[in-house]
Amino acid sequence: MKKNGDEIYAHVEELLRMICFKIRIQGRIALKDYSITPAQFDLMQRTYFDGPQTMTKLSQMLGIAKSTTTGLVMRLERDGFLRRRQGDEDKRVAMVEITELGSEVIKFVIKRRVDYIKEIMDKFPLDTSDKIYHSLIELSSVIEEK
């Protein structure tokens, strides 16, 4: 690496910020017809990928205040994307889970993001897209632990 260490970290942050932003926009465009905000969608994604969650766990996962989580869940429940049910272990603690409608929205958005990524990846020669793919696997393996 020619840049010094600190410059590289700042550059990696910048590259990832740009990449993530562009992909996120694809998802948002897909969401426009549903009048779901980005914050609501993030919360829906957690219940879709990680299963039913308590409000407290959702707040932790999303790095947002408990009161914000409550507001997001209430609106998503009202619109039929999430439901709250009694907890299995502790009946006093409500679990938030995704509905069939909510799952369909998630799949629709992810489909659009996958199509976008296909369009991007197809622009590279095979050895380059292979290198990018394996780099992302390595990067995510360390990030997943943190």
Binding footprint of a second copy on the chain (CB under 8 A): 1, 5-6, 8-13, 15-26, 28-29, 32, 37-39, 42, 61-65, 68, 110, 113-121, 123-124, 126, 128-133, 135-140, 142-144, 146
Between CA 84 and CA 100 the distance in angstroms is: 14
Judged by CB, which is closer to a second copy: 70, or 128?
128
* Residue 79 and residue 114 in contact, taking contact as beta carbons nearer than 8 Å: no
Judged by CB, which is closer to a second copy: 35, or 78?
35
Judged by CB, which is closer to a second copy: 85, or 111?
111
Regarding beta strands 94-98 and 82-86, do their DSSP bridges make them parallel or antiparallel, or are they unpaired? antiparallel
CB of 72 to a second copy, least distance (A): 10
> Of 76, 83, 113, 117, which Cα lies nearest the Cα of 97?
83
